[in-house]
Amino acid sequence: MINLIEGKAWIFGDNIDTDQIYPGRYLELTEPNKIAAHAMEGVDPNFSKDFKAGGILVAGDNFGCGSSREHAVITLKESGVSAVIANSFARIFYRNAINLGFPALICKDARLKIKKGDRVTIDLSAGTVTDVESGEAFQGEKLSDHVMKIIENGGVIPMIKARISSTRS
C-alpha cells in the first residue's frame, strides 16, 4: 500500500502548463529515458540534469493546464517524480494523473512555506504534507479510497486487469 511518500522538494509557480512539463515538439519520442530527458524543460531547462529520482514537485495554482495529452504525467513518472503537490490542478491533468496511478495532492498552504530542497513527506491516505526541515504540517485534500486503490495498482488499466484476473481464478 502506497501511503507515505518522501522526497526533496522542487518548487514551481502558478499555471505550469503541459508544454512546460513536456514540450510538444518531443511527442514522437517513445523511449522512457528520452522522454524523461525533457521533463519540465519549458520552465527549468536544467531540471532533467539536476533532478534526483524520488523528488516531489510543489507548485501553485492550476498545475498542468493546457493540453489534455497524458504525456505530461507520463514524463513526470518516467523522470522519477514521486508526486506533485499543488494549490490546484487543471482538471484534465489531475484526472490523467489519477488514471495513470500518479499521486497528485491538492494542498493550498504548502507552496508558500516549503523551500526548494526541503525534505517533504506526504501521507496520501490522510492528505497531509509535512516539511521535515521545519516540522510544519499542512492539511491537503484527502484522496478517496477509490483513488487510493487506483494509485496502489499503478493506474486504472492495471487495476481493471487485476480485477479481471482475480474473477477468472
Contact between 83 and 127 (Cβ < 8 Å): no
Q: Domains along the chain?
A: 4-168 (3.20.19.10)
The label of the residue with cell 492539511 reads 139
Q: What pLDDT, in 10s, does the model give residues 52-110?
A: 999 999 999 999 999 888 999 999 999 999 999 999 999 999 999 999 999 999 999 89
pLDDT, position 169: 66
DSSP E strand boundaries for 12-113 = 56-59, 83-86, 104-106
